[in-house]
Amino acid sequence: MSPDLLPALTLGFLLGMGHALDADHVVAVSTILSRASGLRRAARLGVAWGLGHTLALAGAAVVVLGLRLAIPERLAAAFEFMIGGLLVALGLRVFAGYRRRRVHAHSHAHDDAVHVHFHAHAAGPAHDHAHAERSAVVSLLTGMAHGLAGSAALLLLVVSRFQSVAAGLACVAFFGAGSVLGMALVSLAIALPFAVTLPRVAWLADSLRLATGALSVSLGCWIMGEVALVGRLFG
């Protein structure tokens, strides 16, 4: 490894850790973690997000560095608009999950009279396992979407700094490793309030979930509006 390359790789790792703290990243992961249980599972979801983010960046880096192409500004704006829509979808997913979990109607017939009652079903181990797998996939795909949306500025920096594809990909790899570690730590910090409140105060955990969903929808709408109003997407 060239001595001149080590400082750049170290900087890429630190930038990756800081990149995990971007508002849209934290909010997106928060909506996914609001449906998870346990700190270990939260850390795995954070790692899945970081891996997806790194895979998308690496793929874009191969195209940009290998073919010496620049990402059009309108395409970068389209990716940002997509992230806004994704945040809205994740927030609505929280609301839909809350409704399915909390509201269940059942009817019973007694002496020719029909009675209807509502209650929530407790999730069993099989349900938890299937939900964990879905959440991991959602976290991975969300990380990939964020990697595409945030790749333009990073890849321009990589192209200007490195002349070889191998060196550029090494920088992306270190950046990705930093984002994986950073998001794992962020996920643990986000999941802690849910882990503390869920076994003790169910209504407080539900309030945190709903607040997270509302924040995700609000931030997503703001991002889409900002991209559309400044004219970078629609000209």
Per DSSP (E only), the strands in the chain are: 105-110, 113-118
pLDDT average, residue stretch 61-77? 76
| Mean residue pLDDT across the chain | 76
| pLDDT at site 37 | 62
CA-CA distance, 30 to 188, in Å (whole number)?
A: 10
The predicted pLDDT at position 103 comes to 46
Distance in angstroms (rounded) separating the CA atoms of residues 168 and 11: 13
Q: Which pLDDT band holds residue 163 (cuts at 50, 70, 90)? A: low
What is the rounded average pLDDT of the residues 146-165?
A: 67
The Cβ-side half-sphere exposure at 99, using a 13 Å CA radius, reads: 7
Residue for token pair 């962020």: 186
Task: Determine the Cα–Cα distance for residues 18 and 16; give it in Å rounded to an integer.
Answer: 5
CA–CA gap between residue 173 and residue 180 (Å, rounded): 10
The predicted model scores a pTM of: 0.75
Q: Binning pLDDT at 50, 70 and 90, where does residue 218 land?
A: very high
Q: What's the chain's Rg over C-alpha atoms?
A: 21
Q: pLDDT band at 85, cuts 50/70/90?
A: very high
Domain parsing of the chain, residue ranges: 5-229
